[in-house]
Amino acid sequence: MKEILLVAGARPNFMKLAPLVRALEPLHGQLGFKIVHTGQHYDREMSDVFFEELGIPTPHFHLGAGGGSHAEQTAKIMVAFEALCQPEKPTAVVVFGDVNSTLACSIVAKKLGIKVAHVEAGLRSGDWAMPEEVNRVVTDSITDWYFVTEPSGMEHLRREGKPEAALHFVGHVMVDNVLFQRDKLLQQALTSGPSVDFKTRHPRYAVVTMHRPSNVDEASTLTEIASALMDISKQLPIAFPVHPRTRKNFEAFWIELGPHIELLPPLPYMEFLNLWKDAALVLTDSGGLQEETTALGVPCVTLRENTERPITVDEGSNVLAGTSAKRIKQLAQEFIEGRTKKAQRPQLWDGQAAQRIAAILLRELSHLG
């Protein structure tokens, strides 16, 4: 029986991996899989409960890579993953997204003669200051099967000369996951926790997330964004689950956010989904949240100058604001006043992407000796 390794290194990777695990489980006997956690992000919330929420088993292997610079982390993952692949001898390695684990494990697999499948292939921001852009482009340069979330990804890969037979427009596993988890919440709503408490006190509210170094590491930029958030919060109270890096810089730069912005700790997945799914507005610099809000039709203002997910702007509920306080407030005001843009869920964002990927993997691997 052919076996594949599903590689994840950070929380968003596992949210993309979970639907594929559910799609592969019925194929047991035809195609086996094992989950590899590289340990790129140490997260105390990634407990057994986290994997139970996602409906997947705990990882079969944990590489324990930990932190360090980009080079240090990538190197540690590569050494550990090579040591795993040599005895395991998988037929293929499946990587997700654009983190350092994606890049590191793709390189190792390719040099060992193992086929590489990239889920969420073809996304491009054009911003080479983003480490994720480097990871995406390099991973796609050595990928064998490209699983693409939106038409722009197909266009990028074709322009880069990738073979048409290797390109598969399948939809988005992140959307599979958010629809699956949303339905779980509808069946059994949370009755306690930070999200429930905040929503009880504030029937109409906004949610903010912010973690990108370009936004939170420069005092002038963080101050500009904070100014916009304070003004918005005077009309719409804000729940702000704060990334540790962001919280540290608020303190270091002596930035106050005022009484209408409630700082929360980082939330477990279901808590966070329960919070933002009913928000009047989300403001974020997260790539994944741009897609998730589009999937559920929640208005989203992205605090970035560019996006590698243009379909969320072209068709979805997302708008690009950059980091200008004036622009952020203008776009937020339009949503607050109900002047929402015409939005729809993009093609194939239907909750079935993982089934398509599993079927393609089974077909492609059956042709290998």
Active-site hit among 60, 202, 211, 243: 211
Distance between CA 234 and CA 106 in Å, rounded? Answer: 47
- Bridge-partner residues for 35, per DSSP? 6
The tokens describing 109, both together, are 């697999």
Distance between CA 166 and CA 364 in Å, rounded? Answer: 10
Concerning whether 211 is annotated as a catalytic residue, the answer is yes
Distance between CA 21 and CA 26 in Å, rounded? Answer: 9
Cα atoms in the Cβ-side hemisphere of radius 13 Å centred on 69: 2
Q: What are the residue numbers of the active site?
A: 211
